[in-house]
């Protein structure tokens, strides 16, 4: 059964900490969370054991024999993937195969987002690795360092980072969790998207792809986004990955190594029941928790609203409201994709104008977030509570609020009272599945 309870005081992640709040008069609510799962008490040791027993295929030590160059694509700072635990077993196996540190490059798969800082690299990987190995960031706009791996629609080549494409052995890390487009993240996504060029990102994140009924949370089969990711990763010769599943507190529940598709399939099967949470019906208001690192900017934090509304049935009814507690110290975000998101949201005419422009003209990487956010805003009001720059919220069509209580007061004004609220402390991990089409009475 889903962990679901009616309480008077609620708590959600906020940055690296938590915030507590109560519901306003006339609003009753329920909290919903992921299923509790046993986590690994010694995840480092578990990772070292798991790499010696890959899900399928040969051991990494065998794959690395004779390799003169190895690339390990790792996730960026906006992903909670425990690369500091997944990468060391890979490096140990490479060293055992005779691959020296000088032959290994760790490529931070930032996609169309900003480059990572030295501090972020050290937090993700550990200073010992950063000091010993070459660690560089991908750049989706650097034509000189992008190599074609296959033809996309209309003959446009899909390219990935030269370091990854030309390595004798390509490896990656990843987190297997519900993903709005890919169904589940992990597998080949770190390479295909995180190390891809703008054409690859634009195609996979374009309106035709995102409007496809198979492109949904927690769905791998029949998902054309996932199919494209897997094909690009295959053509890039991604040979071996290390992926993990985390619980809502960021603890490792499962870890696996091996071929990308086999690892993703196995961990998605483990993750699906953990993250799926049935609710009786739609609600008037949702409080969607995010927390570090996804609450660094609005580009990332806005996923909390779109995850709820792109569930099999939208969690919040039409005309309802979603409150996202997030400081967003980077505003809309600092990367090229984030700046394009902000600019796309500034189109005159509101959400419908954004939707029609994207469907008419297509997207550049980053603008897909404007499209998805506009689809959400067409049906519900989004309020960002605790944001440091209220104007940044207004610039993307959200309402700012100083506190969660203030945000809920605004939401209550929008929907009227009495109202039913659903608190989802970890909205990027919890997939509420609406069981009926009627408004919920779950207080």
Phi, psi of 334 (to 5 degrees): -105, -10
Bond into 230 cis (ω within 30): no
pLDDT above 90 for 37:
no
Nearest one of 332, 354, 316, 318 to 400, comparing CA atoms: 332
pLDDT higher than 70, residue 7: no
Q: Where are the alpha helices (DSSP H) in 293-441?
A: 298-301, 303-309, 336-345, 350-361, 367-377, 390-395, 404-415
Residues sharing a CB contact under 8 Å with residue 177, sequence separation 6 or more, in sequence order: 184, 185, 186, 245, 246, 271, 275, 428, 429
pLDDT band at 438 (very low <50, low <70, confident <90, very high): very low
Tens of pLDDT, residues 126-179: 999 999 999 999 999 999 999 999 998 878 899 999 999 999 999 999 999 989
Q: For the packed helices 43-51 and 83-96, what is the interaxial angle rounded to 10 degrees?
A: 40
pLDDT above 70 covers what percent of the chain?
97
Distance CA 319, CA 279 (A): 19
At 437 the pLDDT is 53
Q: Compute the average pLDDT of residues 180-194.
A: 95
* CA dist., res. 87 & res. 106, Å (int): 9
For residues 277 and 1, give the distance between their C-alpha atoms in angstroms, rounded to a whole number.
8
Distance CA 75, CA 247 (A): 18
Q: How many CB atoms lie within 10 A of CB 62?
A: 11
CATH architecture for the domain at 43-273: 3-Layer(aba) Sandwich (3.40)
Residue ranges covered by each domain of the chain: 3-33+280-434, 43-273
Q: Phi/psi zone of residue 417: left (φ > 0), alpha (ψ -120 to 50 degrees), beta?
A: beta
Mean per-residue pLDDT of the chain? 93
pLDDT-based confidence at residue 443 (cuts at 50, 70, 90): very low
Distance separating alpha carbons of residues 206 and 210, to the nearest angstrom: 6
Q: Please tell me the predicted confidence (pLDDT) of residue 128.
A: 97
Q: Is the peptide bond before 293 cis (omega within 30 degrees of 0)?
A: yes
Between the alpha carbon of residue 95 and those of residues 99, 103, 318, the distances in Å are 5, 10, 56
User: Tens digits of per-residue pLDDT, 288-333?
Assistant: 999 999 899 999 999 999 999 988 899 999 999 999 999 999 999 9
Q: Which of 8, 191, 171, 185 is nearest to 80 (CA)?
A: 185
CA pair distance 10, 239, nearest whole angstrom: 44
Which CATH fold topology does 3-33+280-434 show?
2-enoyl-CoA Hydratase; Chain A, domain 1 (3.90.226)
Band (4; pLDDT cuts 50, 70, 90): low
Residue 277 · residue 430 · CB < 8 Å: yes
Distance of alpha carbon 429 from alpha carbon 8, whole angstroms: 23
Are 408 and 322 contacting, i.e. CB atoms less than 8 angstroms apart?
no
Q: What is the C-alpha to C-alpha distance for residues 215 and 103, in angstroms, rounded to an integer?
A: 38
Q: Write out pLDDT tens, residues 54-101.
A: 999 999 999 999 999 999 999 998 888 999 999 999 999 999 999 999
> pLDDT of 229-261, one tens digit each?
999 999 999 999 999 999 888 899 999 999 999
d(CA 47, CA 241): 12
Ranges 16-20, 215-219, 325-329: which has the least confidence: 215-219
What's the mean pLDDT in 189-194?
96
Q: What tokens were used for 356? A: 């029609």
Residue 6 confidence class, pLDDT cut points 50, 70, 90: low
Can you tell me the distance from the alpha carbon of 79 to that of 349, in angstroms, rounded to the nearest whole number?
33
Which pTM does this prediction carry?
Answer: 0.82
* DSSP bridge pairs for 421: 29, 285
Which positions ≥6 away from 93 have C-beta within 8 Å?
A: 51, 59, 60, 61, 64
Nearest C-alpha neighbor of 345 from the set 327, 371, 319: 371
Confidence of residue 370 (pLDDT cuts 50, 70, 90): very high
């Amino acid at each position: 059964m889903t962990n679901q309870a009616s309480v008077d005081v609620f708590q959600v992640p906020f940055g690296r900490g938590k915030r507590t709040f109560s519901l306003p008069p006339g609003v009753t609510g329920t909290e919903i969370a992921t299923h509790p799962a046993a986590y690994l008490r010694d995840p480092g040791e578990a990772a070292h054991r798991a790499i010696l027993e890959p899900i399928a295929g040969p051991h990494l030590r065998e794959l690395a024999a004779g390799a003169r160059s190895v690339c390990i694509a790792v996730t960026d700072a906006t992903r909670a993937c425990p690369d500091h635990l997944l990468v060391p077993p890979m490096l140990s196996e490479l060293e055992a195969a005779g691959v020296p540190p000088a032959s290994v490059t760790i490529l931070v798969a930032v996609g169309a987002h900003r480059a990572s800082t030295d501090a972020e690299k050290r937090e993700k990987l550990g200073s010992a690795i950063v000091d010993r190995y070459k660690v560089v960031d991908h750049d989706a706009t650097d034509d000189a360092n992008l190599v074609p791996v296959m033809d996309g629609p209309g003959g446009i080549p899909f390219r990935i980072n030269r370091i990854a494409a030309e390595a004798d052995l390509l490896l990656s890390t990843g987190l297997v969790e519900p993903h709005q487009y890919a169904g589940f993240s992990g597998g080949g996504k770190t390479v295909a998207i995180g190390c891809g060029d703008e054409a690859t990102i634009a195609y996979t994140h374009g309106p035709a792809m995102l409007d496809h009924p198979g492109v949904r949370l927690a769905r791998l089969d029949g998902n054309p986004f996932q199919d494209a990711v897997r094909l690009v990763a295959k053509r890039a010769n991604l040979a071996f990955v290390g992926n993990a599943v985390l619980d809502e507190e960021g603890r490792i529940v499962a870890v696996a190594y091996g071929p990308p598709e086999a690892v993703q399939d196995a961990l998605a099967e483990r993750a699906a029941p953990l993250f799926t949470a049935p609710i009786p019906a739609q609600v008037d208001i949702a409080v969607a928790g995010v927390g570090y690192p996804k609450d660094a900017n609005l580009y990332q934090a806005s996923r909390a609203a779109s995850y709820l509304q792109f569930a099999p049935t939208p969690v919040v009814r039409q005309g309802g409201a979603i409150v996202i507690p997030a400081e967003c110290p980077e505003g809309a975000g600092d990367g090229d994709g984030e700046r394009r998101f902000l600019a796309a949201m500034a189109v005159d005419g509101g959400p419908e104008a954004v939707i029609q422009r994207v469907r008419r003209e297509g997207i550049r990487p980053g603008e897909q977030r404007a499209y998805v956010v506009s689809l959400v805003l067409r049906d519900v009001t989004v309020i960002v509570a605790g944001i440091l720059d209220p104007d940044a919220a207004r610039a993307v069509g959200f309402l700012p609020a100083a506190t969660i209580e203030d945000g809920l007061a605004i939401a209550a004004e929008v929907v009227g009272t009495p109202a039913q609220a659903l608190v989802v402390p970890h909205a990027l991990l919890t997939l509420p599945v609406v069981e009926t089409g009627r408004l919920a009475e779950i207080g």
